[in-house]
Amino acid sequence: IFSATTFAPSVFALVNIIPKEFSPNCPTTSLLRVTATVYFKIFSTNSLLISLFNKTEKRFQKVLAQSDKQQLKVLKLTEELEKTNQKVKLLLDNAGEGFLTFNNEMIIDDEYSKMAKDIFNQPLENKKITTLLYPDNPKKANFLEDTLKDILVSNSLKQEVLLSLLPKEFIINDR
């Protein structure tokens, strides 16, 4: 690889060894001078491009190093979160109570306590809580679903009234 600084002196040396018998107006002399100038400009541009490439590569390496550090940080935080989730699950599973959550469509989330599964005597994820609470009475299941949906979008006074309409406890599988 040539750079402008290593190549340019040899081009100018070539121009300077043009025999004296060639006059400055000689076509050969003019052609050599133009050729030398073009080569110099090409290699000056090449040198500039190489320099810009090297600077860009250094910036890229810095960004890559920062990205690696951030990915490592995310991995560590993810591991900590998983450990915390495992601890919470262990607490909930050993609390002797059934814990579960469900979305606004009454579908039970994937995470629930072992006792909740034992109470209903089946896996719970992706099932409707209202259907599990009233498996043999679709009318009551629909009323419960409508009431719970209303509670989610109502003001606090209306929520209190709606909550008072719901049963205080359910007996599921003799529990």
pLDDT, tens only, 13-25: 555 555 555 555 6
Q: Is the pLDDT of residue 11 over 60?
A: no
pLDDT digits (tens, 9 = 90+) for 35-57: 666 666 676 777 777 888 888 88
Write the burial class of residue 12 (CB in 10 Å: 0-12 exposed, 13-18 middle, 19+ buried): middle
Residues with Cβ within 8 Å of 107's Cβ and at least 6 positions away in sequence, in order, are 126, 127, 128, 129
**Average pLDDT value for the chain:** 81
> ∠ at Cα 44 (42, 50), nearest 5°?
100
As a whole number of Å, the CA-based R_g of the chain is 40
First to last CA, the chain: 83
How confident is the model at residue 68, as a pLDDT?
A: 87
Total-model pTM: 0.53
pLDDT digits (tens, 9 = 90+) for 57-104: 888 888 888 888 899 999 999 999 999 999 988 888 888 888 999 999
Q: How sure is the predictor about 2, in pLDDT bands with cuts at 50, 70 and 90? A: very low
